[in-house]
Amino acid sequence: MAAQTILFDFTLDSAKTGDEKQRQEVAKILRNELEHVFPQLELAYSMESPENGYFSVLHENKATIITCRIFQHGLLTVNVEYFLPAGKEPIMSFDTMRTMELILRQKLDSDRSKYLPPIKRGGYIDIYMTSSDERIIEYDIDKLVYEVRSPFQKIQILHSKTLGNMLLLDELQNIAESDLIYTETLMGRGIENYEGKEICILGGGDGALLYELLKENPKHVVMLEIDELVMEACNKYLNSICGDVLEKRRSDQYEIVVGDCVEYLKKFIGEGRKFDYVFGDLTDIPITGAPVGVDWDFIRTIFEHSFKVLKPDGKFLTHGNGTSCTESLELFEEQLALLKPKVKFTTSKAFVPSFMEEWLFYQVSFA
């Protein structure tokens, strides 16, 4: 169940919308055509002003609300909104929407028109998320599999028809059953050699990185994850990407430690413990105009401690953000340039299915 909002817009010659009389003529054509689709249409409210142009609210049986606006600059918008109970058919099929758009474009002599399929608002399952640069993405989610709020974050497992089960943390996409490419690009499969190596994973609560690394025959992997409930959820609902590593928690090859990774890095520094690889599978690079705030402070703290536990020929591997977020990626690279001792980095890219965009990954080593 959700409110359905269908959006239409038409671009007209501004000469046809420049004054009140002309806008009223356009509104007459508009209402006549709307009545073919909504035969019981009634006018509920109408307003005309020099600054705001023409605006009206119409309804059909007071269940379907239609708002129309004619801007003096040559833009006409029509919004159709109604509530659709579960199991009921939409009031407008795609064919009806397309036909209505084409007829109105012809009648209004519009040189450009567009309609958007129903935007579903207020439903229990949220099917809309954003790309890294905050564009709206609609997912084919059909079921909420699991939801809980831990002391650290909101945890959800949603099922997508094409992506499989998908982990969301604080309503942001993290990983799905479709996303092996994410893990393989992060670890540089086929490029890096993990055989016999000591590895530390910061975060990684979904278990996918640990699971794939163990296939490379490392000497030992320690994973530091703060949220027990994330691991419990992924062990139960995402074991296609993590196997049984989150259930066993420990073997001769690996150990999962539940706790604050910063505190454990400090402990490793005090012990003089060193790693061939450290993975930062934590916070995404923030989308901000300047490298300030809690998230950037956390990233700098991770840098400071991670490079102190790296061997001289070791590498720090991490995900960045979407490749479209150029300003934030540049800020991240500026922070790398400030590190002492100096570091150098390479990058790799991959299109991540559940993110529906290309992401950048970093491989950082001492210069």
Residues labelled as active-site residues: 281
CA angle centred on 173, ends 167 and 176, rounded to 5°: 45
Query: What string of H, E and C letters represents the secondary structure of 169-184?
Result: ECCEEEEECCCHHHHH
User: 65 pairs with which residues across the strands?
Assistant: 59, 81
